[in-house]
Structure 1
Amino acid sequence: MDLNRVKQILSSSADIDVKYNGVSVWIDHINEDGKTATVHLRGPNKFEERSYAEISQLEEE
């Protein structure tokens, strides 16, 4: 995925399925370096499990 698409997903009100390493994630925000994003796993009680993901490794389903 590229940076512009991540920005579009973040500003969209639609539920867009994004995967990181084959796992569905929510994108929280783009990090200052512009190459990584903070994400967390989809699902109940998953909001505390945040991690950093390379934007190039995010995949839209």
Structure 2
Amino acid sequence: MDVRRVKQILSSSADIEVKYNGASVWIDKLNEDGRTATVHLRGPLEERSEVEIAELKEL
């Protein structure tokens, strides 16, 4: 995924499915470095992780 698409997803009110390493995640924010984003797993666990946006996949 690229920075432009991450920004579009963040500003969208739609439920856009994104996967990271096969797990469905929510993108919380694009980090200042422009290469990573903070995400958390969909579901009851709210554990947040910083991941490379290149590794995010939109379904």
With normalisation by structure 2, the TM-score equals: 0.97
| Uncovered stretches (5+) of structure 1, i.e. residues with no partner | none
Shift of 1:24: 0.3
Please name the residue that 1:50 is paired with. Answer: 48
Over the matched positions of the two proteins, sequence identity in percent amounts to 75
Runs of 4 or more above 6 Å deviation: none
Task: Quote the RMSD (CA, aligned, Å).
Answer: 0.5
Please name the residue that 1:8 is paired with. Answer: 8
Question: What is the number of equivalent residue pairs in this alignment?
Answer: 59
With normalisation by structure 1, the TM-score equals: 0.94
